[in-house]
């Protein structure tokens, strides 16, 4: 593997913010806006303008003093930086409520991601389709589906007790990255990255906000 040390690898928190900026820029572009300043981005979307300038500085000069960023050009750079200028195939493991919801989630099956199938071990679920017509295939087909469709990403939407073994099967099948929705820590292999989504975090953030209000703290 060739290394390109001159390109800085940005942290997961930064990629999260880049995704947010990308969402904002897409909205502005759809409204016909050509340029935007970091201050306007911050004001419109409740972000931090200094943080925006710092994050975007990693990608070279986009801002023109007094004019701001070129919306379309910056958007394209973010798309390329995040690697969503190409399409990646995805499978979802678990066709329960969560798996079905994710299969039809707007944004999971567009602009760089293509959900090939759900897989489930329950024969009653196999043969169904999601509302967006994504088929539920038998769990035993995992290796075949991953190979034939060149699946790169697996999404775990099974109960916590099965998450680790599903991860192992995904890794064995050749999937390179895993998004885990099961509320459990996955022991990772070196070459198969896991990103876990803990939905409770967002609730706790709201709780923090409510507590401050109850305690009379001004935010």
Ranges within 18-37 binding a copy of itself (CB under 8 A): 18-20, 22-23, 27
- Residues 84-113 binding a copy of itself (CB under 8 A) are 84, 86, 88, 90, 96-98, 100-102, 104-108, 112-113
Q: What is the DSSP string of 79-135?
A: HHHTT-SS-EEEEEE--SHHHHHHHT-TTSSSTTEEEEEEEES-TTTTT-B-TT--B
Segment lying near a copy of itself (by CB under 8 A), choices 30-38, 118-126, 134-142, 170-178: 170-178
- The count of residues in the chain is 219
Q: How far apart are CA 132 and CA 148, in angstroms?
A: 21
Is the CB of residue 95 less than 8 Å from the CB of residue 136? yes
Binding mask 30-69 for a copy of itself (x = CB under 8 A): ---------------x------------------------
Q: How far apart are CA 42 and CA 67, in angstroms?
A: 15
Single out the residue of 61, 124, 190, 214 in contact with a copy of itself (rule: CB under 8 A): 214
- Residues 181-210 binding a copy of itself (CB under 8 A) are 183, 185, 193, 195, 197-210
150 is an interface residue for a copy of itself by CB under 8 A: no
DSSP, res 158: S
CB 65, min distance to a copy of itself, A: 28
């Amino acid at each position: 593997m060739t290394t390109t040390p001159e390109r800085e690898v940005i942290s997961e928190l930064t990629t999260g913010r880049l995704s947010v900026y990308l969402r904002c820029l897409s909205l502005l572009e759809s409204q016909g806006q050509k340029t935007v300043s970091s201050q306007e981005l911050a004001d419109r979307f409740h972000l931090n303008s200094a943080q925006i300038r710092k994050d975007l500085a990693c990608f070279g000069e986009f801002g023109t003093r007094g004019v701001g960023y070129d919306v379309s050009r910056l958007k394209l750079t973010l798309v390329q930086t995040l690697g969503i200028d190409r399409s990646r195939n995805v499978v979802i493991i678990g066709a329960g409520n969560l798996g079905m919801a994710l299969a039809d989630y707007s944004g999971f099956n567009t602009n760089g991601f293509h959900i090939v199938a759900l897989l489930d071990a329950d024969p009653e679920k196999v043969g169904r389709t999601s509302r967006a017509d994504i088929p539920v295939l038998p769990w035993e087909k995992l290796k075949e589906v991953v190979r034939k469709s060149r699946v790169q990403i697996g999404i775990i939407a099974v109960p916590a007790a099965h998450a680790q073994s599903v991860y192992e099967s995904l890794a064995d099948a050749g999937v390179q990255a895993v998004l885990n929705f099961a509320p459990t820590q996955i022991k990772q292999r070196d070459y198969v990255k896991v990103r876990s989504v803990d939905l409770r975090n967002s609730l706790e953030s709201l709780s923090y906000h409510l507590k401050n209000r109850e305690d009379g703290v001004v935010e």
